[in-house]
Structure 1
Amino acid sequence: MSTETTGTGLLEDGYDEELDDRSRMTFLEHLDELRRRILHSLYVLIACCGVAFFYWEPLFNYYVEYFGQYGGNLVYTQPMAGFMFSMKLSGLVGLLVASPFLFMQAWLFVAPGLYAREKRVVIPFVLSASICFLAGAYFAHEVAFPAMWQFFASYMTEGLQFLPNLDVTFGLYVKVILALGIIFQLPIAVFFLARFNVVTAGFMIRHFKYAVLAIVVLAAVITPSGDVVTLAVFSAPMLVLYVISIGVAWLFGKKRLRDAADEE
């Protein structure tokens, strides 16, 4: 394949000449680049957590009311539990706010090894990944966790009080938020797999029944209890995301074929 340089500084095979030099970094240079991206991410994450902690009191009151409205009265049995809750809460809010920057840093780490035309999706990737992650967190906050918590509190009677521990409750909440935030990245992952011809829409349709089984198993692993309600709350959005991902694979699989035909 010819690799002559055009007047625009791009190689005919689609590589950017300057960035192609970066793609040939040594192993130690890759480690140094990874260190830089991690440090940049930590700086922004710490800053966002610090700002969130500045507003710890309204956040604290909101979440105490949020957990209480779905049943039970929160309690804490350790002297520092209340303070640690405010710290953990600030960390979660800071992570959600910083997530677009974290996705950007992840992209910048892998970008040197990509074709020039593939680097053009940086803004769509960061936006879509951030939106999907936050959408998953929102779904967890508004639908998944309340449904789970109402089920747990449904056994409360006059003679049996539901007094959930603050640490355990928030720990479960964080797991649900992060789990669904990551699960909602499925269409993004399928987009890249389809672009690199790793999966196709036909492949995903043919293996649909296996995907359903995998979804149920994964939901059972994620959920803290084996009840049908909680399992359905996690399985339903995952199944919908899989169907959406089939559409993503079909759409961008066709685009990949058109691009390949144009290059020929």
Structure 2
Amino acid sequence: MEEREVGPPPRLPRPPRSRLLGGPRVQRHRGPVDRRSVFVGGKPLTREPPSVRAVAEEQPRRMGIFRHLEELRQRLKWSILAVFFLFVFFAAFRIQTADVGGVTVPYPWPDPLQPAASQFFNLTLNYLVPPDVTPVVLGPTDAFVVQLQSALFLALVSGMPIVAYHMGKFIAPALYERERKVIVRLVVPAVFLFVAGILLAFFVLLPFTFRFLYSIAGSLGARQKFLSLDQFIGFTLVFTFGFAATFELPIVMYALTAATLVKASTWRKYWRFAVIAIFFFAALITPDSSGVTMLLVAFPMLGLYLAGYIAAAVHERRKASPAVSP
């Protein structure tokens, strides 16, 4: 029998490894891949069908949206209820005073005919309107509507902290820490400027406006001067809130620059358009066509625009300057 030398057994060809297309940079952009997946023909085949996986990933997202909508509904409900109860209080209760041990103590008393809204309206009317002007009611429902408008104004002003609290609680989880710090830093200046606008409009601009306009009527020989209650409350509320809203102009400009939405140079570049818009808005909220009250409103707005540009430029310069290490 013939002997033969037997060498090592021949190597069988290995099956090709299942590899993912693309290098590490591509895989990093694609995201993590489940290593437990089964690879067929070099491509991963997940154990779970794509349709089921898509549904499973979409379900928490839908639940999150519904939870956010439910929370928004709850926040709006409590805000509306707070304003509604305050509206009922100012429309149905009057503020009376009692002397307790030599101390004057105010307390509410139910009186739908002379509620707190009517008390506030009478104080405002006596302070703003000249004494030679006679208030009149032109329709049977004017007095009732004016009383409701006054109650709604008081309810909105006194209930604004509650509304701001609930809206802040709803928006806060969606903000980054830096955005929260910016908002917190702007809350106090925004409230201060809004209150300053209301006080300036109520104690300076409105008394001057009414006296100036009715002085023109006297120079024309008018023997009697009348003022409709409906026109008075409408003009007073629109003028006061409109002028107070203009005091938020520096806050808006600074916030847009801090959020890198508008550069500080943009405010300087388009200042001519800003001047035109300011005079247009001032003419919109002032009633007379003489232009005097329009100038009284426009000049403070121009100063506020300049202050907003300076604040935005300072913030942009501080952000661009390199931090000095100790």
Give yes or no for TM over 0.5: yes
C-alpha deviation, 1:194, in angstroms: 1.2
> Aligned pair count?
241
The partner residue of 2:207 within 128, 142, 146 is: 146
2:134·2:227 contact (CA, 8 Å) conserved in 1?
Answer: yes
1:103·1:129 contact (CA, 8 Å) conserved in 2?
Answer: no
Instruction: Write the deviation string for residues 57-92 of structure 1: whole angstroms up to 9, x where unpaired.
Output: 532331231233376221113334334323322221
- Structure 1 residue runs of 5 or longer lacking an equivalent are 1-22
C-alpha deviation, 1:255, in angstroms: 4.4
1:114 pairs with 2:152 = no
- Structure 2 residue runs of 5 or longer lacking an equivalent are 1-60, 96-115
TM-score (normalizing by structure 2): 0.64
Whose Rg is larger?
Answer: 2
- Equivalent in the alignment of 1:44: 82
The partner residue of 1:233 within 281, 287, 296 is: 296
**Aligned residue type for 1:212:** V
2:202·2:240 contact (CA, 8 Å) conserved in 1?
Answer: yes
C-alpha deviation, 1:153, in angstroms: 0.7
Q: In structure 2, how many angstroms separate the alpha carbons of the residues matched to 1:182 and 1:144?
A: 15
Q: In structure 2, how many angstroms separate the alpha carbons of the residues matched to 1:255 and 1:60?
A: 48
TM-score (normalizing by structure 1): 0.77
- Equivalent in the alignment of 2:145: 84
The partner residue of 1:177 within 226, 240, 253 is: 240
* Deviation larger for 52-61 or 243-252: 52-61
The partner residue of 2:162 within 86, 101, 105 is: 101
Distance 1:243 1:161, change over 3 A: same
2:130·2:210 contact (CA, 8 Å) conserved in 1?
Answer: no
Distance 1:187 1:98, change over 3 A: farther
C-alpha deviation, 1:229, in angstroms: 0.8
C-alpha deviation, 1:165, in angstroms: 0.4
Q: Which has the higher helix share?
A: 1
**Aligned residue type for 1:102:** V
- Equivalent in the alignment of 2:273: 210
State the SS of the aligned residue for 2:226.
coil
C-alpha deviation, 1:246, in angstroms: 1.1
Instruction: Show the 5 A alignment for 1:125-204.
Output: 125-157=186-218, 158-204=221-267
**Aligned residue type for 1:185:** E
Instruction: Show the 5 A alignment for 1:236-255.
Output: 236-255=299-318
Q: Which has the higher strand share?
A: 2
C-alpha deviation, 1:214, in angstroms: 1.4
2:86·2:155 contact (CA, 8 Å) conserved in 1?
Answer: yes
Q: In structure 1, how many angstroms separate the alpha carbons of the residues matched to 2:164 and 2:190?
A: 7
1:59 pairs with 2:97 = no
**Aligned residue type for 1:49:** F
**Aligned residue type for 1:59:** F
Distance 1:83 1:24, change over 3 A: same
**Percent identity among equivalent residues?**
27
C-alpha deviation, 1:215, in angstroms: 0.8
C-alpha deviation, 1:176, in angstroms: 0.7
Q: In structure 2, how many angstroms separate the alpha carbons of the residues matched to 1:79 and 1:36?
A: 39
Instruction: Write the deviation string for residues 192-226 of structure 1: whole angstroms up to 9, x where unpaired.
Output: 20111122332212222221111112222232333
Q: In structure 1, how many angstroms separate the alpha carbons of the residues matched to 2:223 and 2:319?
A: 60
* Deviation larger for 80-89 or 176-185: 80-89
Q: In structure 1, how many angstroms separate the alpha carbons of the residues matched to 2:307 and 2:245?
A: 16
C-alpha deviation, 1:27, in angstroms: 4.9
1:76·1:166 contact (CA, 8 Å) conserved in 2?
Answer: yes
Q: In structure 2, how many angstroms separate the alpha carbons of the residues matched to 1:257 and 1:47?
A: 50
Q: In structure 1, how many angstroms separate the alpha carbons of the residues matched to 2:202 and 2:75?
A: 29
Instruction: Write the deviation string for residues 86-122 of structure 1: whole angstroms up to 9, x where unpaired.
Output: 3322221222223333334443343333211221345
State the SS of the aligned residue for 1:85.
helix
**Aligned residue type for 2:265:** G
- Equivalent in the alignment of 1:10: none
* Deviation larger for 173-182 or 219-228: 219-228
State the SS of the aligned residue for 2:227.
coil
Query: Which fold has the larger relative contact order, with Cα–Cα distance below 8 Å and residues 6 or more apart in sequence?
Result: 1
